[in-house]
């Protein structure tokens, strides 16, 4: 398919940078919608798209993807990819790209702001002044300097937060299931319980997985120091909200800030249903960790760039569910992409068929991941049509296409 005919659908107000970048690269058919879609509206929209870009609200479930097997690529204009059925996308030969680095700073800065607000009790003081009172006292107001920040999950965001917190004079400890090199003076805690017992503020920065679901429940909350505080800008399912509410009401936890929730509103007009609403020592923000102008602009560029590389030359670097392949383009050739079941004999079958039809392979690379193999080949332009026909008949083929 010529690039100018590729239909690209971008949902949820993806930054205009993405549209501009794609059009500058020759992709003329870009449709941008401001909101998320679901149900029949989503199914209908996917029927007119070869590529789709989403943020966190649109759910590309197993059932949804099975109705749109023609999709060539999916882009998550955010860090998380749990809103996409990655295994189904892989089985259908659809690489999924995300933006794991572009909003790390914005999330880390929000967490720092929330830590300071919690420590100074800014929420109740702000409200009091608005209501005509003047609570000019130091009761319950503390500095960040000298406090211990416990970071659970020391990936891109956790490490960035670590640096900012140290610059405030905080002591930083972290816990991660993987071995991580500490930055600055951060120290690795030997266990989650050890971190919880030491930290004045605990901040979560973990992916959504079975292991992190309900990671913080009553047990963990009461492992924390009395008067400690909790920040969650990771995933809503990581904290048991009812247990947190009880720990706050009992006074064991002194304050909390949440940017993510187990069930989030689907639109700006819908209210968040949570027992934490109305608590003066709790900050509730509407999943805005990555919602800065700078972060969204960078994300737009990052994911759009991955789309362009994949659609123009088959590069899958950065795909979360797919073999990562990058092969420089060669003059006077057409590129063939062959996505197939990862099983023995596929490559030999391809090479045998090409030899039988006297098709010379100018360049070739194969990579596999889980159940999928990804073969990229360059052949002479005069041979590419026959070569594509032969590829499509190889046993185990999921999909194949030609890049001009």
Q: What are the structural domains, with CATH classification, of the chain?
A: 1-98+292-322 (3.40.50.720), 103-284 (3.40.50.720), 324-403 (3.30.70.260)
Q: Cβ(244)–Cβ(215) under 8 Å? A: no
Structure confidence by residue, pLDDT tens digits, 125-165: 999 999 999 999 999 999 999 999 999 999 999 999 999 99
User: CA-CA distance, 262 to 39, in Å (whole number)?
Assistant: 20
Q: Is the pLDDT of residue 33 over 90?
A: yes
User: CA-CA distance, 161 to 174, in Å (whole number)?
Assistant: 11
The β-bridge partners of 9 are 31, 52
Does the annotation count 133 as an active-site position?
Answer: no
User: CA-CA distance, 375 to 396, in Å (whole number)?
Assistant: 12
pLDDT of residue 142: 96
Average pLDDT, the chain: 95
pLDDT classification of 187: cutoffs 50, 70, 90: very high
User: CA-CA distance, 170 to 143, in Å (whole number)?
Assistant: 10
The stretch 236-263 carries a mean pLDDT of 97
Q: Is the pLDDT of residue 302 over 70?
A: yes
Three-state DSSP at 256 gives: strand
Alpha helix ranges (H) inside 251-341:
293-313
User: CA-CA distance, 349 to 366, in Å (whole number)?
Assistant: 13
CA distances from 300 to 43, 163, 237, 293, 296 (A): 24, 26, 27, 11, 6
Beta-sheet pairing, 51-54 with 73-76: parallel
pLDDT of residue 266: 80
Structure confidence by residue, pLDDT tens digits, 92-136: 999 999 998 888 999 999 999 999 999 999 999 999 999 999 999
CB atoms within 10 A of CB 389: 12
Does the annotation count 356 as an active-site position?
Answer: no
DSSP string, 58-127: --B-HHHHHT-TT--EEEESSS--TTB-HHHHHHTT--EE--SSTTHHHHHHHHHHHHHHHHHTHHHHHH
Q: Is the pLDDT of residue 281 over 90?
A: yes
% of the chain residues with pLDDT over 70: 100
The stretch 377-398 carries a mean pLDDT of 96
Of 287, 334, 335, 338, which one is the catalytic site residue? 287
The stretch 356-366 carries a mean pLDDT of 95
pLDDT of residue 30: 97
**The model's pTM:** 0.84
Of 264, 324, 399, 402, which one is the catalytic site residue? 264
Structure confidence by residue, pLDDT tens digits, 304-352: 999 999 999 999 999 999 999 998 888 999 999 999 999 999 999 999 9
User: CA-CA distance, 19 to 229, in Å (whole number)?
Assistant: 41
Backbone angles phi, psi at 399, to 5 degrees: -165, 160
Burial (CB < 10 A; 0-12, 13-18, 19+), residue 347, is middle
Q: Which residue, 192, 180, 189, is CA-closest to 155?
A: 180
Three-state DSSP at 258 gives: strand
Three-state DSSP at 400 gives: strand
Of 125, 235, 334, 338, which one is the catalytic site residue? 235
Does the annotation count 3 as an active-site position?
Answer: no
Q: Is the pLDDT of residue 376 over 70?
A: yes
Beta-sheet pairing, 333-341 with 187-188: unpaired
CA distances from 64 to 7, 298, 370 (A): 18, 28, 22
**H or E element that contains 321:** none
Q: Is the pLDDT of residue 1 over 70?
A: no
pLDDT of residue 69: 86
pLDDT classification of 4: cutoffs 50, 70, 90: confident
Three-state DSSP at 215 gives: coil
pLDDT of residue 2: 67
pLDDT of residue 3: 77
Handedness of CA 322, 325, 329, 333 (dihedral sign): negative
């Amino acid at each position: 398919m010529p690039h100018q005919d590729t239909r690209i659908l971008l949902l949820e107000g993806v930054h205009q940078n993405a549209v501009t970048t794609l059009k500058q690269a020759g992709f003329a058919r870009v449709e941008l919608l401001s909101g998320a879609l679901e149900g029949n509206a989503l199914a209908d929209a996917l029927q007119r798209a070869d590529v789709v870009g989403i943020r966190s609200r649109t759910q590309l479930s197993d059932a949804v993807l099975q109705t749109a097997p023609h999709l060539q690529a999916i882009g998550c204009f955010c860090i998380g990819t749990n809103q996409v059925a990655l295994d189904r996308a892989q089985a259908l030969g659809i690489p999924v790209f995300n933006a794991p680095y572009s909003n790390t700073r914005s999330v880390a800065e929000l967490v720092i702001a929330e830590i300071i607000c919690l420590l100074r009790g800014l929420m109740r003081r702000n409200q009091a002044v608005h209501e005509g009172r003047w609570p000019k006292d130091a009761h319950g107001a503390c500095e960040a300097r000298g406090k211990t920040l416990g970071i659970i999950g020391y990936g891109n965001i956790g490490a960035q937060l670590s640096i900012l917190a140290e610059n405030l004079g905080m002591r930083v400890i972290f816990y991660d299931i993987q071995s991580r090199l500490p930055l600055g003076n951060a120290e690795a805690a030997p266990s989650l319980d050890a971190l919880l017992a030491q930290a004045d503020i605990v901040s979560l920065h973990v992916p959504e997985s079975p292991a992190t679901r309900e990671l913080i429940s009553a047990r963990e909350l009461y492992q924390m120091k009395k008067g400690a505080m909790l920040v969650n800008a990771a995933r809503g399912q990581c904290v048991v909200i009812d247990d947190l509410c009880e720990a706050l009401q009992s006074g064991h936890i002194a304050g909390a800030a949440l940017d993510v929730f187990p069930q989030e509103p689907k639109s700006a007009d819908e209210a968040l249903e949570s027992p934490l609403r109305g608590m003066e020592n709790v900050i509730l923000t509407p999943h805005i960790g990555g919602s800065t102008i700078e972060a969204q602009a960078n994300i737009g560029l990052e994911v759009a760039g991955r789309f362009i590389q994949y659609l123009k030359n088959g590069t899958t670097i950065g795909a979360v569910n797919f073999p990562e392949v990058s092969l420089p383009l060669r003059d006077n050739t057409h590129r063939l992409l062959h996505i197939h079941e990862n099983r023995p004999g596929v490559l030999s079958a391809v090479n045998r068929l090409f030899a039988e039809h006297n098709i010379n392979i100018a360049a070739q690379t194969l990579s596999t991941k889980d159940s999928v193999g990804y073969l990229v080949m360059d052949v002479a332009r005069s041979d590419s049509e026959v070569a594509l026909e032969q590829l499509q008949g190889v046993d185990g083929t999921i999909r194949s296409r030609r890049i001009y």
